[in-house]
Structure 1
Amino acid sequence: MSTSSTVERAFTAALYSATARSGHDDALDTGASLLAADPAADAELARRGEEFVATAWRRGWQPADVVRIVRRELDEVHVRLVAALIRAQSADDRPRGRRWAAQLDELTRDEPSRTDRFSYATAVLELYRLLLRLPTLESLDASAGPASAPAARHGDGESRMLGRIRALLAKAEATGYPEEAEALSAKAQELMARHSVDEALLAARAPSPDAPGACRIGVEPPYEQTKAVLLDAVATANHCRAVWNEALGFSTVVGFEGDLEAVELLYTSLLVQATTAMTRAESAQRAGGRKRTKTFRQSFLAAYAHRIGTRLEAAARTQVTEDLLPVLATRDVAVTDRLERMFPETTTTRLRGVSDAAGWTEGAQAADRAQVEPRRPLS
């Protein structure tokens, strides 16, 4: 029997049959048994896996998206398997830009363990079953335009600016003092706003072929709805727009490249800080005799997101003078146009579970402690 025949029979049993589509374990066991009994089929099995990965790219997925959903739906062994497949497939793939390359660099390099051939084959088929059923996503490739490529005009100045922002956010995450953390975050937002205005001025003085791009940022449970609200607030304050995909656990953020990086940095840091502040507030509530509740945490995060959004917008406005408004408005129109082409139909969602007064008050107070000091407006 040829190795191709072994793989085809295993796939028919475990992936394509009616029993397999119903998720029945017997189908998986049959396919895994066929593969375990034929070591010569391993190379063909890996090649077919790379084909599944390439198909995911054609459906609009990116490496970080695939790893995220595998981690969400399966186990760590499957994450290592898919990381190895993505790395192998990338050797034959076309260049896809700086952001894609960064996602490849972040892939885990731990080789999947092989306890026994049957268990290994089972894990591979479970992974392939998931890859086979990935839906088509909106393309982030900006119609294969220049937004998917590195921007040549970004140089050492941008690297230094983003380095300063990262350093501020790292300090904010590390400090044990909430007032200091929030002041550092506010300072980081001011730098982000300044960076965004500088980008807009460069575009106005020397128009470039850059167009708005897009990226996906994971929004993981629990409390994913309030986390999506926080991400939306950060995106809006940084001249971006966000659309949440609840079913797949991410938001798509649309904006110019420098602003997208700012959103990723600040959202990740604020999420760490919000969780720390929430845990501290909850401990104080428990010390007062109150039991830990889901509604407290949901309300805390909702209030935090709302107030942080207000304060980030205020920090961003300190960088804008009236003569800059037409420049920024032009970029906003471009972002909105890209968003509407990607998502011609969107719906709004009512925020659920925000009913705890103490949680709301604590969350708002945590956000209000941010010290947003105005800077000299740019001209």
Structure 2
Amino acid sequence: MADGSARHSAALVLGALTDVYERGWQPQDVLHVTGRHFSDVKAGLIASLLLAHAYRVTPLAWAPPAWSDQIRAMALAEPTADAAARRYAGSAAEHGRPGCGSRERPGGGAGHPSLPGIGSAADRFSAGGLVLLWQSLPDWPHLCPPPSLWSPHAASAGPAEGTPAADSGPRAVDPKVPARIRGLLAKAESTDFPHEAEALTAKAQELITRHAVDTALLHRDTDADADGFAVSARRIHLNNPYLREKVTLLSVIGRVNTVRTVWSKRLAIATVIGTEDALEQVALLYTSLLVQCTRAMQARSPGAVGPGRTAAFRRSFLVGFATRIGQRLAESHRQATRDAAADAGVCDGALVPVLRAQDDAVRKEAQRLFPHSRPTHAGKVDPVGWCAGTDAAETATITAGGRRIPGRVPLPGA
């Protein structure tokens, strides 16, 4: 009886997960939302379920790169969960455990393994709770093909139908640049020395800016229309607190880089839409600047006040920081474009048609994916926090060699 219960629970959970994937969700999306709902459950338990599904149910060898990268990242982050999932997948195969849509072999029930994370009282969540949660999730736009459409041909063909291939069109001169940028920013976020972090972030920004402008220069000799740009989308998962304000920072960074941001408050997930290079730049810049903002915000938060006062200050700090960062990034973008155009021997306006066509392509794809989205606005702000955040944005490093973009005189420390 216990074995039959385990099989029933496994079928329910794996089937519900298959269904939610078919409705546009991806592994890291499900991990994020499930973790927010079952906040008292360790991430490893949830990851073990998703990994077990990946190894037992899906043809992972045929998965699109974006999907397999998420599974790989999950496995690296939770090695114990990965080991449990692999044991389950191997044992289930030995005992005839069916994948979704397959038939169980006669006599395969004896010694049936338990699905990782389900069935123990210590796990603190049930198969029924997971199934109800996943069934309640809304349908989402498919950012890559769901598992039912995978095949050896589809795995090599690229994104889902209707989405241009990410590797079509002109390529940047140096494909190793994104990896170098990630390495620099990872070091910047891990160091305890502010000056070292600024130098690393500055070098990363220099590479980001030049990489983007070089790519645009490669486009200028092609037909500059919206159909010539390969636009894709990815989801960025945000965590409490101050979600709306963090989205504001992400949105202003995206706007400068011709990336549109669509935010789901209920799910705490933002979808960013743009060219693949631009999406990578925005994700890297957002992570780095959020680290800088958080450090500055904690250092300047008022002491000896109530929690409500501190929260209002910090929310407003983030908004002020985001507003000024957007202005500085725009100034940096204009200057870098002028410098790169001069180096290439073309006039300042040579890239205008290309950049306009790129913006049109991004706008069309955002409208296709989210036809019913509407703009949102920040709420009330605390003036002291807003000014302190604006001041902190003046000293955040976003340019090459630590050189700061000219702007207004920084305000006195608030």
TM-score higher than 0.5:
yes
**Residue 303 of structure 1, aligned match among 307, 310, 320:** 320
Counterpart CA distance in 2 for 1:182 and 1:307 is: 18
SS of match in other structure, 2:381: coil
Summarize the alignment of residues 1-379 of structure 1 with structure 2, pairs less than 5 Å apart.
37-74=1-38, 75-76=41-42, 78-88=45-55, 91-92=58-59, 95-107=62-74, 108-111=78-81, 117=120, 122-141=125-144, 143-145=160-162, 147=164, 157-158=174-175, 160-176=176-192, 178=194, 181-182=197-198, 184-205=200-221, 211-282=230-301, 285-286=302-303, 290=305, 293-320=310-337, 321-355=348-382, 357-371=383-397, 373=399
Structure with greater proportional helix content? 1
CA shift for structure 1 position 277: 1.3
Let me know the Cα RMSD of the aligned residues: 3.1
CA contact (8 A) 1:70 1:78 kept: no
Q: Secondary structure at the match of 1:144?
A: coil
| Residue identity opposite 2:311 in structure 1 | K
Secondary structure of 2:62 counterpart: coil
Aligned length: 333
2: CA distance between counterparts of 1:138 and 1:57? Answer: 11
Deviations 1:243-279 (A, max 9, x none): 1111111111000111111111111222222111111
Moved more, 266-275 or 124-133: 124-133
Does the residue aligned with 1:213 lie in a helix, a strand or coil? strand
For 1:196 and 1:119, the matched residues in 2 are separated by 50
**CA deviations over 1:199-220 (Å, ceiling 9, x no partner):** 2233444679762000010122
CA distance in 1, matches of 2:195, 2:359: 32
**204-213 or 217-226, larger mean C-alpha shift:** 204-213
SS in 2 for 1:255: strand
Tell me, in whole angstroms, the C-alpha distance in 1 between the residues paired with 2:28 and 2:218.
Answer: 31
Provide the TM-score with structure 2 as the length reference.
0.71
CA distance in 1, matches of 2:56, 2:34: 17
Instruction: Supply the distance in 2 between the matched residues of 1:325 and 1:90 (Cα, whole angstroms).
Output: 48
Matched letter for residue 348 of structure 1: P
> How far, CA to CA, are the matches of 1:167 and 1:94 in structure 2?
28
Partners in 2 of 1:148 and 1:313 — Cα distance? 28
Deviations 1:210-241 (A, max 9, x none): 62000010122210010000000111122211
* Aligned partner of residue 110 in structure 1, secondary structure: helix
Structure 1 position 88, deviation (Å): 2.6
**TM-aligned CA deviation for residue 152 of structure 1:** 9.2
Letter in 2 for 1:295: A
Measure, in 1, the Cα distance between the counterparts of 2:253 and 2:371. 22
**Structure 2: gaps (5+ residues):** 85-115, 145-158, 338-347, 402-414
Change (3 A) 1:272 1:370: closer
Q: Is the 8 A contact 1:299 1:360 kept in 2?
A: yes
* Structure 1 residues 318 and 239: alpha-carbon distance in aligned structure 2, compared to 1, 3 A threshold: same
Between the aligned partners of 1:297 and 1:237, the Cα distance in structure 2 is 24
In structure 2, do the counterparts of structure 1 residues 146 and 342 end up closer, same or farther at CA, with 3 Å as the change threshold?
closer
The alignment-based identity, stated in percent, is 33
